[in-house]
């Protein structure tokens, strides 16, 4: 039985080593040499589909039908209405392109939250990303250097990150976290 199995494995391209102790490996698997090189902006290169979940804050009021309405930033509360600050959950998703040189371009961005305003970058919006404290930071607020922190992982054979963990803490932007996957 073992001889038949060994002959079959050998005939379809698997390698057999030794007589009693053997290892089987595919001859078609691509072998990558990985290194522990420092993280750099060039390791984000390509289109990444992302999904984030988080908290959104807004100023608004309930209308006569019980709908929570959000006011645009700086807008006044309607007369004879009580306005408050509200928090709710939010989900954002879309596709962002990283050029490997420090420019990120949103291909699409969708946001669902309790405010009804959606918001977020428009398609074609460009932002800078840079190395900051050993991680990549997407600069959403120019001049402040703040924005989501991107932790890279699952590198392919070309050294490009296949998976990105995204987190944004309160004070950076709206608190959120999620992942982006190289397409």
Q: What is the DSSP string of 7-65?
A: HHHHHTTEE--SSSS---EESSPPP-----PPP-GGG-EEEEEEEEEEEEEEEEEE-TT
Contact 102, 130 (CB under 8 A): yes
* Collapsed DSSP state (helix, strand, coil) of residue 89: strand
pLDDT score at 147: 76
CATH class of 41-56+89-182: mainly beta
Domain ranges within the chain, ordered by starting residue: 1-30, 41-56+89-182
Confidence band for 100, pLDDT divided at 50, 70 and 90: very high
pLDDT of residue 6 exceeding 90 = no
pLDDT of residue 32 exceeding 90 = no
Select the more confidently predicted residue: 122 or 20.
Answer: 122
């Amino acid at each position: 039985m073992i001889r038949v199995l060994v002959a079959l494995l050998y005939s379809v391209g698997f390698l057999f080593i030794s007589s009693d102790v053997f290892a089987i490996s595919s001859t078609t698997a691509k072998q990558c040499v990985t290194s522990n090189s420092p993280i750099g902006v060039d390791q984000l290169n390509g289109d990444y589909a992302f999904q984030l979940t988080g908290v959104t804050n807004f100023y608004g009021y309930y209308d006569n039908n019980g709908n929570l309405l959000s006011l645009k930033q700086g807008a006044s509360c309607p007369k004879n209405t009580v306005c408050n600050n509200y928090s709710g959950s939010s989900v954002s998703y879309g596709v962002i392109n990283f050029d490997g040189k420090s420019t990120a371009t949103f291909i699409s961005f969708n946001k669902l939250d309790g405010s009804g305003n959606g918001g977020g970058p428009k398609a074609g919006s460009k932002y800078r990303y840079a190395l900051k404290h050993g991680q990549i930071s997407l600069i959403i607020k120019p001049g402040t250097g703040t924005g989501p922190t991107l932790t890279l992982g699952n590198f392919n054979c070309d050294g490009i990150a296949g998976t990105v963990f995204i987190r944004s803490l309160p004070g950076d932007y709206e608190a959120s976290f999620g992942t982006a996957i190289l397409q």
